[in-house]
Amino acid sequence: MIDLQGRAALVAGVGPNIGQRVATLLAQSGAAVVCVDRDRETAGRCAALVAAEGGKAVPVAGDVASPAGVSAIFEEVADRVGVVDALVNNAAVSVPRGILDTSYEDWQRVLSVALTGTFLMSQAFARALVAAGRPGSVVNVASTSGHRGRKNAVAYCSAKGGVLNLTRAMAMDLAPHRIRVNSVSPTKTGPALADDGTTTRDFSEIPLGRLGTPDDQAHAVRFLLSDEADFITGLDVRVDGGTLATWGTRSYASAR
């Protein structure tokens, strides 16, 4: 079992899907967790869930897309926790529009959270570690949408593609400081809420024949943060059921 005793991890974007499960799994493995979200109630719910399971968690509300917001986050973290040595960048928003319909405001909003937010949080995290002379690890949550085009997701695809190369560039910059930087690329994870209130999601393009789960992503994140991945940096782990190994045009569900 992966042991994170003595580690302190900051998880940014702790809504009830991937981020929340990452936070609870890291805590179950012994890490103290800082649950960061722009929504104060979401951060509080995640921290309460960790505490209810016997873990250690601190909720922090803040805006990862703003330099001032990120500074405030890390000031509060320093006061309440000290220096954290693990960072998970999961904060993101999506606007379901294509190139013809995406406004400048939509474009800026998506990129400011998913890409600029990842940059700002990673920079503040790395600067604190370098100043303390300590090693650490970053995991960025990318997406299969960052590897390929997808209809009606021009801003999201662009932001996640940026996250993938930002990960590689940061890994090169931070390697001399013993700070590893990797990413995971989820496919469709968890149910989607349809307009009629039902949860439905097509997974016919996923070769393993099911949707991803928050557990799938959380276990990959935990591994990359752990000492077991000590010689891994600059890598994207595709936790996608084989989605990116295909053209994405064949229905695998009908063949099973």
Q: Which residues are catalytic?
A: 156
Phi/psi zone of residue 209: left (φ > 0), alpha (ψ -120 to 50 degrees), beta?
Answer: left
CA dist 140 → 132, 206, 226 (Å): 22, 22, 14
| Widest Cα–Cα separation across the chain | 55
Looking at residue 182, the DSSP 8-state letter turns out to be: E
- Hey, CA dihedral for 241, 30, 181, 14, is it positive or negative? positive
Environment class of residue 139 by beta-carbon count within 10 Å: exposed (0-12), middle (13-18) or buried (19+)? Answer: buried
The two tokens of residue 107 are 């474009």
Looking at residue 253, the DSSP 8-state letter turns out to be: G
CA dist 243 → 52, 110, 155, 240 (Å): 36, 24, 21, 5
Q: For 239, phi and psi rounded to 5 degrees?
A: -100, 75
Amino acid at the residue 95: V
Apex CA 36: angle with CA 118 and CA 191, to 5°? 85
Q: Following DSSP, what letter does each residue of 115-128 receive, concatenated?
A: IIHHHHHHHHHHHH
